[in-house]
Amino acid sequence: MHIAIIGAGISGLLSALEFIEEGCSVSIFDQQSAGKAASWAGGGILSPMYPWRYPQAVNDLAKHGKNLYLEWNEKLRPISGIDFEIHETGMLIFDQTDFEIGLNYAKLHNEPMQACEHLQQQQIQQINPRISNQFEQAIHFPQIANVRNPRLLKSIIGYLKQHPQVQFYENTWIEKFIIQNAQIHAVESTRGERFEADHYVISTGAWSEHWSSQLQLQIPIAPVQGQMLLFKGPENWLPTMCMNEVMYLIPRRDGHIVCGSSMNHLGFDHRPSTQVQQDIYKASLNMVPALAELQIVKQWAGLRPSSPTGIPYIGQMPNIDNLWANFGHYRNGLCMGPASAQLLRQLVLKQTTIVDPQVYTPNALVSTL
């Protein structure tokens, strides 16, 4: 079976991995270089921030992220030569209004990886002595990890590009579907090239609304800009991830610290803003004042594919037999990515599914006919 995947972000790349594991051949198309949009720009926390604030359907996919990435890392690293750097730092959350629900979440939803404990200031300082003294309490999630997403993407892309069942078409904008009798017969690029496959997957992230007109559907995906800062300190300078008022700090092993993130509806503008940079900087120092001693080495912004509820669309697109969706993951594309790709593969190949697929079905997309 030949699968054409349009979009080479984390969702499309992981989908490709799933299909080739089952013996399928895969063609992957992207309008730019693979893995250069929101997947590269994100922080890589392997859990939704404040999971209790999200629909259960998001958490049902996200809870598999850490273990599935650990498995993929073991499989891909000998071939790609790149370690994902899954860093099990744990996380401290300082938002006191979330303490009660956070402490009960793991037991209530049977998610042991979300188990946490309530800490007082002295315990906080023992776990992470760089935390500001203003925080007298926190909840601590010792099992939450982060993945270094640029390395993750490089590893997957390197593995796929050497694989005999994979063809890559970068800098190739797929403009339209050739549709006859409720079937896609081919896709066509802006250069007039035609490509044929048995099944076609839309995995175009923030750009997915582009297909609304041709498919005569309302696809309510919009870009939401998120901006980040990167500090550089000594190795293992910050012991844990930190979260307060939706701002986060994510330490990497080599001393880099990713700080974010903002939420701005600016269309497809991904230029960083000085004002947002200052807001992130202030929020970061509020948690860890010693960051003021470190150098800012980079700032950037990415475009998240927002969906109305944060629940992605995964499954068969309405009215077309061989067209499939895997898009709309909003803020949690990296942690939902592995299970989303697994679910898509199971649906296309008519296998038993990892979760009930009904809540993710694109059948909810409204026809514009």
Task: Please compute the mean of the pLDDT values over residues 156-162 and round it to a whole number.
Answer: 97
CA nearest to 261, candidates 274, 241, 246, 275: 246
Q: How confident is the model at residue 264 (pLDDT cuts 50, 70, 90)?
A: confident
* Radius of gyration of the chain, Cα coordinates, nearest whole angstrom: 21
Q: Tell me: the pLDDT tens digits for 60-105?
A: 999 999 999 999 999 999 999 999 999 999 999 999 999 999 999 9
- H or E element in which residue 137 lies: strand 137-141
| Cα of 20 vs its chain's centroid, Å | 21
Residue with token string 């796929």:
160
- H or E element in which residue 197 lies: none
2-64+150-221+308-367 and 88-145+222-306, same CATH topology: no
Contact 264, 225 (CB under 8 A): yes
Task: Please compute the mean of the pLDDT values over residues 145-163 and round it to a whole number.
Answer: 97
Instruction: Output the six-digit token pair for 289.
Output: 């004042």
Q: Is the pLDDT of residue 200 over 70?
A: yes
- List the end-to-end C-alpha distance of the chain, in Å, as a whole number: 32
Distance of alpha carbon 123 from alpha carbon 126, whole angstroms: 5
Task: Please compute the mean of the pLDDT values over residues 316-333 and round it to a whole number.
Answer: 95
Q: What are phi and psi of 79, to 5 degrees?
A: -90, -45
Tell me the three state secondary structure of residue 98. Answer: helix
Q: Tell me: the pLDDT tens digits for 243-258?
A: 999 999 999 999 999 9
Distance of alpha carbon 14 from alpha carbon 157, whole angstroms: 10
Residue with token string 């990167």:
230
Instruction: Identify the burial level of 261 via C-beta atoms within 10 angstroms of its C-beta, where 0-12 means exposed, 13-18 middle and 19 or more buried.
Output: buried
Task: Please compute the mean of the pLDDT values over residues 287-295 and round it to a whole number.
Answer: 97
Residue with token string 């402490």:
103
Looking at per-residue pLDDT, the higher value among 339 and 42 belongs to 339
Q: Is the pLDDT of residue 56 over 80?
A: yes
CA nearest to 329, candidates 157, 234, 206: 206
The set of residues, in sequence order, having a beta carbon less than 8 Å from that of 104 and lying 6+ positions away, is none
Task: Please compute the mean of the pLDDT values over residues 4-32 and round it to a whole number.
Answer: 97
Distance of alpha carbon 281 from alpha carbon 199, whole angstroms: 46
Q: Around Cβ 107, how many Cβ atoms within 10 Å?
A: 11
pLDDT at position 73: 98
Q: Tell me: the pLDDT tens digits for 122-152?
A: 999 999 999 999 999 999 999 999 999 999 9
* Helix and strand numbers, DSSP H then E, in the chain: 10, 19
Contact 334, 310 (CB under 8 A): no
Q: Is the pLDDT of residue 369 over 60?
A: no
List % helix, strand, coil for the chain (3-state, nearest 5). 35, 25, 35
pLDDT at position 39: 83
Looking at per-residue pLDDT, the higher value among 262 and 369 belongs to 262
pTM: 0.95
Task: Please compute the mean of the pLDDT values over residues 321-339 and round it to a whole number.
Answer: 96
* Whether residue 39 has a cis bond before it, omega within 30° of 0: no
Q: Tell me: the pLDDT tens digits for 95-129?
A: 999 999 999 999 999 999 999 999 999 999 999 99
Domain ranges, ordered by start, for the chain: 2-64+150-221+308-367, 88-145+222-306
Distance of alpha carbon 346 from alpha carbon 339, whole angstroms: 10
Distance of alpha carbon 319 from alpha carbon 324, whole angstroms: 11
Q: Is the pLDDT of residue 237 over 90?
A: yes
Distance of alpha carbon 175 from alpha carbon 214, whole angstroms: 10
Q: Around Cβ 96, how many Cβ atoms within 10 Å?
A: 12
Q: Around Cβ 139, how many Cβ atoms within 10 Å?
A: 22
Class of domain 2-64+150-221+308-367: alpha beta
pLDDT at position 141: 98
Q: 88-145+222-306 belongs to which homologous superfamily?
A: D-Amino Acid Oxidase, subunit A, domain 2 (3.30.9.10)
Task: Please compute the mean of the pLDDT values over residues 191-207 and round it to a whole number.
Answer: 96
Average model confidence (pLDDT) for the chain?
A: 95
Instruction: Output the six-digit token pair for 43.
Output: 């922080």
Tell me the three state secondary structure of residue 230. Answer: strand
Distance of alpha carbon 294 from alpha carbon 310, whole angstroms: 35
pLDDT at position 368: 67
